[in-house]
């Protein structure tokens, strides 16, 4: 799916590694060697005939190699087999994409694994590896605007990302009975090849086989009942709404599941590791209540089911995996369930096109915790704002880290969450409840399944309130000093 920002212009800037436009495309009949005896066609004609290499990154300056240029993925079809005993994953990824330029070659992101074979439109393609880039050279040029299908066969031992800064461990994390799979920001490449950046969303289907007795949980809903084939069980899941790669999951292990519907009729799927058996009923109920409540505040639920997964792997965090938030090694309280479910609107349906804008996800989800507290008759959003404001004195690092510019090395800084939420509260006080809650719904509606930037949010807030909000956002999102107390 195409992101809001045009990628065709960005892929025009080819990184150094890819400046050799003609390398490897001699088959097209235009020799890369300086064959001075043959008249060289004009450069423009040459480019049209042979195409250029897709960029090795999608253009997120803070994560220069994440994602790739030159194409837009429409659909991922993943066939996966996992053997927990051998810690071995066998994968067959079929990716349908649209060329955004004449492509002589393009990259996929994939970390580790032994790649056995790559085909493009059913014709074997040559490929190379460079770090986490899988470089694919199709036999023939892919024309701008043409759809193509790339298939990658791979296998090996999945290796999660172990990040030394505050990202922790993420990606495909083998556990004692299966795997815990949470990929924010760029860990999808640890289990399937793709365009691993949230600005390229796509639909997914998963066919996952695991040893009999284990459960495979992925996004969306199951297609039919699990099938047993010999000593394996095969689960088929489908996510029919566009999804960022970091929200995809294939969580595996022993699980007890509870399926039903929320009061308003949304399918609701909860699954817990047997260690959390006693929490299953409560989690399922609370998850349904909160999902329903958010539909009254943010507008219609964007996906076809809601859910929650608790594994006994101690990740130290939760992640808003699309339709199935994942809780790593703890039974979540209402606050965190409210947070992860708010992400289904803010982050998952309305996605950021660059990581710098992460407050649009985390500030909104944290503010939603305050809204839930208020709804439950506990602390009001005002009280929670006041206590956060008071708790952080002038010297607190929250004030020197502007949440409107999330940093690659410290993406999940408290400022992005708490000061992001405070920004929304400051906005609410300034524009009034009516406009503020209208704004949340309009934002979720206008950008449903799309990609956004902070600039667009500010523009919408100014339009809907008819106020000049530069000072407010300047101070709260971009300033490096503690803002003055809100006037009421």
Residues that bind Zn ion (CB under 5 A): 362, 365
Q: Is 167 in the site for ligand ARG (CB under 6 A)?
A: yes
Segment lying near ligand ARG (by CB under 6 A), choices 1-9, 72-80, 314-322, 326-334 = 314-322
Among ligand ARG, Zn ion, none, partner that 317 touches (CB below 5 to 8 angstroms by kind): ligand ARG
How crowded is residue 453: how many other Cβ atoms within 10 Å of its Cβ?
16
Which of 245, 238, 197 minimizes the C-alpha distance to 220? 238
Residue closer to Zn ion, measured from CB, 138 or 420: 420
Kindly state the smallest distance separating residue 105's Cβ from ligand ARG, in Å: 31
Kindly state the smallest distance separating residue 342's Cβ from Zn ion, in Å: 8
Segment lying near ligand ARG (by CB under 6 A), choices 152-160, 204-212, 265-273, 318-326 = 318-326
Q: Is 311 in the site for ligand ARG (CB under 6 A)?
A: no
Residue closer to Zn ion, measured from CB, 411 or 426: 411
Residue closer to ligand ARG, measured from CB, 50 or 244: 244
Q: Is 412 in the site for ligand ARG (CB under 6 A)?
A: yes
Kindly state the smallest distance separating residue 320's Cβ from Zn ion, in Å: 6
Q: Is 170 in the site for ligand ARG (CB under 6 A)?
A: yes
Residue closer to ligand ARG, measured from CB, 71 or 346: 346
- Pairing assessment for the beta strands 306-311 and 161-162 based on DSSP bridges: unpaired
Specify the residue for token string 């349906």.
349
Q: Which of residues 319-338 bind ligand ARG (CB under 6 A)?
A: 319-320
Segment lying near ligand ARG (by CB under 6 A), choices 26-34, 163-171, 250-258, 289-297 = 163-171
Distances (CA, A) of 27 to 14, 270, 337, 352: 22, 53, 55, 40
Among ligand ARG, Zn ion, none, partner that 73 touches (CB below 5 to 8 angstroms by kind): none
- Pairing assessment for the beta strands 306-311 and 326-328 based on DSSP bridges: parallel
Q: Is 318 in the site for ligand ARG (CB under 6 A)?
A: yes
Alpha helices in 346-419 (DSSP H): 359-375, 381-391, 414
Kindly state the smallest distance separating residue 173's Cβ from ligand ARG, in Å: 10
Distances (CA, A) of 79 to 212, 242, 250: 17, 19, 11
Q: Is 362 in the site for ligand ARG (CB under 6 A)?
A: yes
Q: Is 168 in the site for ligand ARG (CB under 6 A)?
A: yes
Residue closer to ligand ARG, measured from CB, 53 or 326: 326
How crowded is residue 264: how many other Cβ atoms within 10 Å of its Cβ?
13
Distances (CA, A) of 289 to 90, 211, 345, 361: 38, 34, 16, 21
Kindly state the smallest distance separating residue 290's Cβ from ligand ARG, in Å: 14
Among Zn ion, ligand ARG, none, partner that 168 touches (CB below 5 to 8 angstroms by kind): ligand ARG
- Could you write out the DSSP letters of every residue in 36-94? TTSPPPPHHHHHHHH-EEPPSS-S-TTSTTSS-SSEEEEEEEEEEEEETTTTEEEEEEE
Kindly state the smallest distance separating residue 82's Cβ from ligand ARG, in Å: 21
Q: Is 483 in the site for ligand ARG (CB under 6 A)?
A: no
Segment lying near ligand ARG (by CB under 6 A), choices 143-151, 162-170, 212-220, 456-464 = 162-170
User: For 214, what's the count of Cα atoms within 13 Å in the CB-facing half-sphere?
Assistant: 24
**For residue 185, is the peptide bond before it cis, meaning its omega torsion is within 30 degrees of 0?**
yes
In a 3-state reduction of DSSP, which class is residue 280?
helix
Cα–Cα distance for residue pair 323/381, rounded to 1 Å: 26
Specify the residue for token string 């409210």.
338
Cα–Cα distance for residue pair 228/455, rounded to 1 Å: 51
Size of the site for ligand ARG (CB under 6 A): 12
Segment lying near ligand ARG (by CB under 6 A), choices 189-197, 311-319, 388-396, 473-481 = 311-319
Kindly state the smallest distance separating residue 340's Cβ from ligand ARG, in Å: 6
Residue 282 CB contacts under 8 Å (≥ 6 apart), including other chains:
none
* Residues contributing to the site for ligand ARG (CB under 6 A): 167-168, 170, 184, 317-320, 339-340, 362, 412
């Amino acid at each position: 799916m195409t992101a809001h920002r045009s990628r065709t212009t960005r892929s025009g800037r080819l990184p150094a590694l890819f400046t050799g436009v003609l390398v490897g495309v001699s088959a097209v009949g235009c020799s890369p060697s300086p064959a001075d005896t043959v008249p060289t066609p004009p450069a423009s004609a040459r480019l049209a005939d042979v195409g250029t290499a897709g960029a090795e990154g999608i253009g997120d300056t803070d994560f220069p190699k994440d994602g790739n240029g030159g194409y837009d993925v429409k659909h991922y079809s993943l066939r996966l087999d996992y053997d927990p005993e051998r810690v071995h994953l066998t994968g067959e990824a079929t990716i349908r994409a649209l060329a955004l330029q004449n492509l002589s070659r393009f990259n996929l992101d994939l970390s580790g694994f032994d790649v056995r074979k790559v085909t493009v439109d059913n014709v074997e393609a040559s490929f190379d590896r460079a770090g986490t880039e899988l470089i694919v050279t199709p036999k023939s040029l892919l024309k701008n605007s043409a759809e193509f299908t790339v298939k990658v066969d791979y296998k090996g031992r999945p290796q999660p990302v172990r990040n030394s800064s505050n990202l922790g461990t993420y990606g495909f994390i083998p556990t004692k009975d299966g795997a815990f799979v949470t990929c924010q920001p760029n860990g999808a490449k640890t289990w399937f090849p793709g365009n691993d950046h949230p600005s390229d969303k796509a639909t997914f289907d998963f066919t996952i086989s695991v040893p009999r007795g284990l459960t495979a949980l992925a996004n969306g809903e199951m297609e039919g009942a699990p099938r047993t084939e010999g000593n394996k069980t095969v689960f088929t899941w489908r996510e029919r709404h566009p999804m960022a790669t970091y929200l995809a999951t294939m969580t595996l292990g022993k699980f007890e599941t509870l399926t039903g519907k929320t009061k308003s009729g949304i399918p609701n799927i909860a699954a817990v590791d047997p260690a959390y058996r006693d929490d299953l009923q409560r989690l399922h109920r609370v998850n349904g209540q909160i999902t329903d409540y958010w539909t009254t505040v943010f507008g219609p639920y964007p996906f076809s089911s809601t859910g929650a997964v608790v594994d006994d792997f101690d990740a130290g965090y939760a992640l808003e995996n699309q339709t199935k938030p994942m809780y790593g090694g703890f039974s979540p309280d209402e606050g965190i369930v409210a947070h992860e479910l708010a992400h289904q609107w803010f982050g998952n349906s309305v996605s950021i096109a660059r990581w710098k804008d992460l407050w649009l996800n985390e500030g909104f989800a944290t503010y939603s915790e305050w809204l839930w507290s208020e709804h439950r008759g506990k602390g009001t959003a005002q009280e929670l704002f006041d206590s956060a404001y008071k708790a952080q004195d002038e010297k607190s690092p929250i004030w020197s880290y502007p949440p409107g510019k999330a940093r690659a090395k410290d993406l999940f800084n408290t400022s992005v969450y708490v000061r992001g939420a405070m920004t929304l509260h400051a906005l609410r006080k300034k524009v009034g409840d009516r406009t503020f809650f209208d704004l949340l719904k309009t934002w979720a509606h206008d950008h449903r399944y799309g990609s956004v930037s902070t600039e667009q949010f500010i523009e919408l807030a100014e339009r809907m309130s008819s106020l000049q909000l530069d000072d407010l956002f300047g101070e709260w999102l971009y300033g490096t000093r503690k803002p003055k107390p809100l006037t009421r």
